[in-house]
Homo-oligomer: A and B are copies of this chain.
Amino acid sequence: MSMEPKELKDKIKGIIHVVLTHFDENDRLDEKALRKSLNYAANALKGEDAVFLSTGSIAEFYAMTDQECKKAISIVVEEVGGQFPVIAGTGRPGTKLTIEMSQYAQGVGADGVLIVNPYYQPTTKEGLFRHFQTIAESIDIGIMVYNSALTTKLWIPPDLMVRLSKIDNIVADKETTTNALAYYWMQKAVDPKDMVIICGIGQLMYTFCALYGCPGFVTEFANFAPDIAISLYKAAQQRDFDKLTQLADKIAPYQEFLTKVAQRRGTLPTVLSPYISSNELPFYQSVMKTAMSLIGLPGGHVRGPMENITAEEKEELRKVLTDMGIL
């Protein structure tokens, strides 16, 4: 049974664990690998504040068929449902398609859905409001808005987020801005009774958001270094900012490796500013999967058009993770 939206809202805190999707040698969904990875993370996060997030950007939902997405969602619910809240990424560029996928997720027992801003043709503020409102009316479970400026180029500003937060089963915002002032105003505008705002960009941005009591953060680290994610969260909850910044410095080498790989691959052919696009790394899923395989978990390749890192880069990553004490 899915949770009530209110219960889900209360449980959205701590480590928002992004579940990756594994593919086998024939590029088919690797169910066994997925279950193994889920169990690894579930064991590591047992007893901790944590939420499992499936079929999001990092899970390559955009490169999977609807059938594959549905399969992945049901596997996640089967393996960890009940133990942890499960939120399934079900956003599509059209309202109707999003509803269909969200109703499926509800049907198989997901506790909530993650709805990304429409990502092909942009729409107006009213169009965005209606999109989320219509979806909310079509399901009973809770909704986490995925305010993803980096991939969708749309950004729901605070006044619109406040309106969305007043809809009963819209209970959370996975906020992806790197702009500290934008984050400040968003968390100030939205009543925490209506909506939980989590840091959607990862552990490094979370150190900043933690200052204002941000209750949780999306992280890939529980896939291969869960202790780091747990330590970060605990330091933030204890408001031990000295420890928090020390931990940030400890994970910096992983991020620096990402930057180094990005620089090798050159600028994206985008009409956007490099200032923005420097955060868009078409191989970050490959780095995560490689990190997983380095600790003995299933990893595997990523689907095109994203890039897989090279064998040499895998060795570089091994060194980075070793120096970080992960290997």
Contacts and interface: CB of A to CB of B under 8 A. Distances in A.
Interface of A: 27, 57, 60, 62-66, 92-97, 100, 118-128, 130-131, 134, 149, 151, 153-157, 160, 178-184, 188, 201, 204-205, 207-208, 211-213, 239, 241-242, 244-245, 248-249, 252, 265-277, 279-280, 282-283, 303-307
A94 B179 contact: no
Contacts of A270: 122, 153-155, 273-274
Nearest to A265: B124
A214 B33 CA distance: 45
A30 B202 CA distance: 44
A271 B63 contact: no
Contacts of A283: 124
B267 A63 contact: no
Stoichiometry, as copies per complex, reads 4
Nearest to A119: B120
Given A121-B280, A127-B305, A275 B155 contact: yes
Contacts of A204: 181, 184
Given A178-B180, A304-B95, A155 B269 contact: yes
Contact of A208 (B64, B124, B180, B305): B180
A267 to B, nearest CB: 6
A303 B94 contact: yes
A126 to B, nearest CB: 7
A168 B187 CA distance: 42
A16 to B, nearest CB: 18
8 contacts: A65-B100, A96-B304, A121-B282, A155-B269, A155-B270, A181-B204, A211-B244, A272-B273
A13 to B, nearest CB: 18
A64 B100 CA distance: 11
A94 B68 CA distance: 13
Given A62-B94, A153-B270, A208-B180, A127 B275 contact: no
B305 A188 contact: no
B178 A305 contact: no
Which of A62, A120, A182 has the most chain B CB within a 10 Å cutoff? A120
